[in-house]
Amino acid sequence: MKNIVILISGRGSNMEALIAARDAGDLPVNIAAVISNRLDAKGLETAAKAGIATHYIDHKAFAGREAFDAALAECIDGFAPDLVVLAGFMRILSEGFVRHYEGRLMNIHPSLLPSFPGLHTHRRALEEGVRIHGCTVHFVTPTLDHGPVIVQAAVPVLDSDDEDALSARILRQEHLIYPQAVRWFAEGRLSLDGGRVRIAADLSDGGAFISPVLR
């Protein structure tokens, strides 16, 4: 069974979705630890109640990004993870940190990348008048909100949408596709080929191909 470590900065709703999938028997992983850069992150309490080890490392206590990332990596590596999962971890990670976990560092972003990297994605989507919006699970590279796409979920943008309504609808999709992506990793079905993610067929399902694009 694969070990994963989850990084959060707040409530960690995607972390909650991963825990729920694990508890339901749909995610064959051991969640070894949840680590946050904020002591007041509500997700730490949630993880502790679920019997998961928790750690807090204050990024403000370090002289710079690289020093914090080095301490974070030391903490993470103490749990020997096969995969590190970013679930609302609001820190830009240094290139050295990303390279250290290359191919085993996963993130979810609330847009259909490469559209709308960065913050305030739903507001920007509404301002641009796009008709399709969504979320993306991807492997992390040193370029912010960029990297090989694993799975995306698309939703229509309705004329009645405001930022909160669109965000809530997309968050429901995030909670579906993130556990799916982690499950594919745990099952050894993900591979990188020339900067693109390949998803092996599910042999337990007769070898059927599962589309990496969900609606």
* Residues noted as catalytic: 109
The helix or strand, by DSSP H or E, that contains position 45, with its residue range, turns out to be: helix 42-49
Give CA–CA dist 181/151, Å, rounded.
7
The helix or strand, by DSSP H or E, that contains position 31, with its residue range, turns out to be: strand 29-36
Tokens for 180?
Answer: 């799916």
Distance of CA 8 to CAs 68, 107, 125, 162, Å? 15, 11, 25, 26
The dihedral over CA atoms of 198, 26, 186, 116, expressed in degrees to the nearest 10, equals 50
In whole angstroms, what separates CA 171 from the centre of its chain?
Answer: 12
Q: Are strands 29-36 and 53-56 parallel, antiparallel or unpaired?
A: parallel
Tokens for 41?
Answer: 């992150």
